[in-house]
Every structure is written in C-alpha cells, then in structure tokens.
Amino acid sequence: GAVVSQHPSWVICKSGTSVKIECRSLDFQATTMFWYRQFPKQSLMLMATSNEGSKATYEQGVEKDKFLINHASLTLSTLTVTSAHPEDSSFYICSAIKREGLYEQYFGPGTRLTVT
C-alpha cells in the first residue's frame, strides 16, 4: 500500500499564533510531497512542492514566509502557518509520490485549520 497520514486532523488556534501540520508517508519513502489548500466546495489549490533536503517551491501568490514548509526526511514534511489569521482557515491536504516520474499522488486525509 501507500498510506499518507496527517496530524493533526483538525486544529483551532488564535490569531497571531503559529500552527504546524505534519504529513507522513507511512509505508514508503517520498521524494516529493505536495501541499494543497481546499476551500469549502472548491477545488484543491497547489501551494507548494516539497523535495527532501531542499527548499520548497511555492506557487505564485503563496507567501513563503507565512507558509513554511520543511521536508526533513523522506517520510516527513511539515507545513507551519505562521502568524495565523482567520482568512487562513481552510482544509490543508498533503500528498506524496514515490519518485519523480511516477504520476500517482497519494493523498493524506487533510487537516482542518480554524483560526479564531
């Protein structure tokens, strides 16, 4: 199998605080992980591509200083939302691929972030 987990599954934080979301590939090594944001009843928007041991590549319009991504190992990537604001409330989803060139992405279950 190819299982991707996310932690936490949901989190509530106050404005101005930071929150970290973990994405783990449980039974495979992921050379590349992706972070998406999904608004209610809308599609997934790619935020950034994360490669192990290198800096993440952010999509146009995504603030890299606000959404810090660290791909520390072949099984773990983290997304830190810094100085969170209510407009950052969303569903964040990660995915992973086993190696570049293989198109299938394995998705995590998502993390619901609510900023009060």
Partner 1 sequence: GNSVTQMEGPVTLSEEAFLTINCTYTATGYPSLFWYVQYPGEGLQLLLKATKADDKGSNKGFEATYRKETTSFHLEKGSVQVSDSAVYFCALSGETSGSRLTFGEGTQLTVNP
List contacts with partner 1 (CB under 8 A): 4, 32, 34, 41-44, 46, 49, 93, 95, 97, 100-105, 107-110
> Length of the chain in residues, anyone?
116
**Minimum Å distance from CB 26 to partner 1?**
13
**Minimum Å distance from CB 75 to partner 1?**
17
Spatial distance between the Cα atoms of 110 and 63, rounded to a whole number of angstroms: 20
Q: Which is nearer to partner 1, 43 or 54 (CB)?
A: 43
Q: Which residues pair with 21 in a beta bridge?
A: 79
Query: Which two structure tokens, joined as six digits, stand for 106?
Result: 């394995």
**Minimum Å distance from CB 63 to partner 1?**
19
Amino acid making up residue 35: W
